[in-house]
Amino acid sequence: MIENSMFEEEPDVVDLAKEPCLHPLEPDEVEYEPRSSRLLVRGLGEHEIDDDEEDYESSAKLLGMSFMNRSSGLRNNMSICRQNPNGSCSVPSARTMVACTVVLVIAVSLIIYLLPKCTFTKEGCHKKNHTMELIYPLASNGKVFPWAKIRLPPDVVPLHYDLVLQPNLTTLKFAGSVKIVVNIIRVTQKIVLHSSGLNITKATITSAEGREAKPAEFLEYPLHDQIAVMAPEALLVGQNYTINIEYSSNLSDTYYGFYKISYKDENSEQRWFAATQFEPLAARSAFPCFDEPAFKATFLIKIKRDEKLSTLSNMPKKATTPVTDGIVQDEFFVSLKMSTYLVAFVVADLENISRETNGSLVSVYAIPQHLNQAEYALNTAVKLLEFYQKYFLMNYPLEKLDLVAIPDFQSGAMENWGLITFRETALLFDSTTSSAMDKKLITAVIAHELAHQWFGNLVTMEWWNDLWLNEGFATFMEYFAMEEIFPELHSDEDFLNLIFKAMMKDSLNSSHPVSSAVQSSEQIEEMFDALSYIKGASLLLMLKQYLTKDVFQAGIEVYLHNHNYGSAQSDDLWDSMNEITNGTLDVKKLMKTWILHKGFPLVTVVRRGKIISVQQEKFSYHVETENWTSNASYLWHIPLTYITSSCNFTHCTNAYLLDQKSAVIELPEEVEWIKFNVDMNGYYVVHYAEDWKTLIDLLKNNHTALSPKDRANLINNIFSLAGLGKESLEKAFELIDYLNKENSTAPLTQALFQLSLIYSLLEKNGEQQLAARVMHRIEQLLGDKIDQQRWTDDGTLSERELRSTLLTFACTHGVRNCRTTATEMFEKWMKSNGTTSLPSDVMKAIFTAGTKSSDGWEFLLKMYSSSVSEAEKSKMIEALASTEDVRKMIWLMQNSLEGEVIRAQELSHIIATVSRSLPGYLLAWDFVKENWKKLTRKFHLGSYTIQNIISWSTSQFATKAHLLEVKSFFESKSEESSQLRCVKEAIETIQLNIQWMERNLAKLQELL
């Protein structure tokens, strides 16, 4: 799955911290439970609990760990001294020490006496003789539910599903039945699986030899989305059984599960569309299933539908048979072995275009009025599919690959095997209204989802803690494939900007390791963030550069071959790489320091003649938060790269593995300058100490001695170090003084990004005059570049993208004569009633200028409602949200949440745009507070959309009053809300903003 906002320009969000640990807990050893969810039940059968289910965390809780945590601050202050009346400290007396020791010994003895031979789990006390007290929940009917964990028991595994569905697009309900063939691993009398919001009417169970199905009692535990089918007799090891369940439900009105979509057809009549989005945890809301990624099985799917509609699923259609008047049943071929979250089906009125390649039929589907925008996607998909098959030395295993444009879709796309679903803006290309940036977006999303057909679908992460194996790999391959097949798109520049934003996220204490233990649905949802996607991908890029491309490619081939149709953990990937390195390098040892640590290293470089001293530490802002962790234990194995003045071409890149805190590199000769992290291929920041002046002079006198990516890297690093307090803001501004000579997109956009952050922070916090001086500085640096831009679609794609960025910025902030030119073009377009064409690359800038007048805003809203180009509508909605009229802002946010006039999929984008403006940033936060319950129902707690909404609506606060307000708001909500990783990030970001203002406000006033 790829999140649409990955490609947007707003700040990213950060996730909850986990302690760095070289041996993290297994996923089922960490468990989140609401406190009220369980009841004590005594004397249940001993066969229900296994020895491997021990959980020491619970015994700590039962023995008073909660008090110990709360009092840890007191213990830190009181453990070695006691305070005298005058405030000084003295060492406790010997008598006091002896008394304390005796009390402690007695307490421990009592615990041992009361709990003989007992290990506590969340199910209770396990005694060696297996007589125990267990903690089990109650099912919805009041009976004891026979399973207490969030993860399903390993006793039973699914082999095959027969699924029959009948959605009704008139009543917006669906009926279903599922037969699941299961195999018994351990003797049990229960089969626990997932079900969410389904009205189950019947359950039976049949043995392999049995001819008739036996009725089975079923129990429901909605808190964990689990049901238990209770067999009338013990289920035997090695035997297969078939569970048959009949049920019904409503088509969902969220973006999860089997959900309904309304849209207007060519005649402006309302039509209905049903589609699925199951990742990560929503297959259970469409059919009862073992909804965990490692429980792979085959699927036979049958869908009954109105004969005027069509259906699609993962596999090709096998047969269509009549059922009753006007209703037919489509049966699809049996699928390959796959996880439940990859199952998909669509019921709608769709049309398609197709091409065959290497035995697979590739098709792009859309609603009829959008089919003429599908050709670019089809050509792109065919090229990418052919490239991946050659690179992986492994054919795409299905006979067909469908790409479907969904009219209302929360994510950017979803990689369902053989049936990839897309937001329309991520698949459809309109030659008259789609810009260079739109083309790049569509190419990137298709490349990402096709990479998933191998990374994620063929080989799947075993559990969501290793989501990065899916998403990091797909993101890495997305940009690698684009560079190989579409070099004219300059996708490496986009990847560079994404890495910079991921590092902003990862620099906070509220970050988390790429591979993190997760258990609850909120924790799993929050793994879909910039760290799993972008950091994961950048670590693979760093490894590829270090191993060389041939060794890396061979390691990937081994990984896919060893684990195809199965599941994998991070170690499996490193083991595959080690098969190729054959002892010359321990890839597992190297990479574990990156995926099990949160954050990234700061490498300080000191040059003394030929001697280069390098030292690593954790890049850290040292803001004391409630989950602050020490940096002393952090040590990365860093594949350093560097170039020097003696040879600065790519083939002259030098490498050095820094696996200690510090080291010395001796050059063969003295050099004028040295630049580390060549082309930003490594995931670390470099501080050049005294050498910053040398690099600043290099940029002023001969900036092309470094590549555009290296120049962007220096700009990013020096502003990051200024935020850290290790370099002055004055020096950062001095470094970008060369920009009036710069013509490359990467350094210009990075400089504009950094200066815009400063401008926005000042503007939103009562420093308008100083903000105006920052804008004046931007105009000094980039004004000539802005004036040079032509209001056309000419030039290379990189030049066109830069033009779009610069002119949209200039029109938004009133720089030079941008608004005058754009307003004139908008008025001509408005007078033609929208019939004259506008250059697609500058369309957003023109629309933004046009909405400054009330008449222009109303006209653009009318055109939005009638436009058939999703690319054009996306530009229109951002321009509409750029208004300075607060009533119009409120109307847009409210109507998008309701989803009638403006789709709810646009809401996070609207909130982001509103929050960027001075009149809107407080309004956006008020809207989030007032509509929190509706937002979390529509988009789910922890989802990428909720992460972004929280980040965008709070990221510009920089006062203690706002800090207290944000803290208080989330503390007043549920425990799940207050513990969200993105909430912790938002709070820490505000703290950093306060710190930045205190540290830099006076300096900026002097500097500007």
Q: Which amino acid is at 720?
A: S
CA 824 to chain centre: 41
Radius of gyration over alpha carbons of the chain, in Å? 30
Give the span between the Cα atoms of 470 and 2, in whole angstroms.
11
* Cβ contacts of 148 within 8 Å, gap of 6 or more: 38, 122, 123, 134, 135, 136, 137
* Cβ contacts of 242 within 8 Å, gap of 6 or more: 179, 180, 181, 182, 205, 206, 213
CA 840 to chain centre: 29
Residue 70 has a CB neighbour count (10 Å cut-off) of 9
Say if residues 786 and 810 touch (Cβ distance below 8 Å).
yes
Helix axes 708-724 and 745-763, enclosed angle (nearest 10)? 20
Say if residues 861 and 880 touch (Cβ distance below 8 Å).
yes
Query: Token digits for 704?
Result: 């092309």
Say if residues 875 and 850 touch (Cβ distance below 8 Å).
no
Query: Token digits for 510?
Result: 């509220």
Give the span between the Cα atoms of 255 and 23, in whole angstroms.
36
Give the span between the Cα atoms of 331 and 336, in whole angstroms.
15
Residue 741 has a CB neighbour count (10 Å cut-off) of 12
| SS3 state of residue 979 | coil
The dihedral of CA 952, 955, 960, 964: what is its sign?
Answer: positive
Query: Token digits for 183?
Result: 């195999």
* Cβ contacts of 982 within 8 Å, gap of 6 or more: 13, 14, 15, 526, 942, 946, 947, 950, 951
Say if residues 526 and 947 touch (Cβ distance below 8 Å).
yes
Give the span between the Cα atoms of 505 and 542, in whole angstroms.
19
Say if residues 654 and 643 touch (Cβ distance below 8 Å).
yes
The dihedral of CA 41, 45, 50, 56: what is its sign?
Answer: positive
Name the helix (H) or strand (E) containing 194.
strand 188-194
Say if residues 535 and 506 touch (Cβ distance below 8 Å).
yes
Catalytic one among 449, 478, 734, 985? 449
Say if residues 915 and 845 touch (Cβ distance below 8 Å).
no
Burial class of residue 725 in the structure, from the number of CB atoms within 10 Å of its CB (0-12 exposed, 13-18 middle, 19+ buried): middle
| SS3 state of residue 329 | strand
Q: What is the DSSP letter of 793?
A: S
CA dist 489 to 437, 463, 480, 845, Å?
9, 35, 12, 21
Q: CA angle 342-348-350, nearest 5°?
A: 100
The dihedral of CA 303, 309, 311, 316: what is its sign?
Answer: positive
Residue 544 has a CB neighbour count (10 Å cut-off) of 19
Query: Token digits for 109?
Result: 């003895």
| SS3 state of residue 573 | helix
Say if residues 309 and 347 touch (Cβ distance below 8 Å).
yes
Pairing verdict, β 419-423 and 400-406:
parallel
Helix axes 944-954 and 932-939, enclosed angle (nearest 10)? 150
Is position 48 annotated as part of the catalytic site?
A: no
Say if residues 736 and 715 touch (Cβ distance below 8 Å).
yes
* Residues assigned a catalytic role: 449
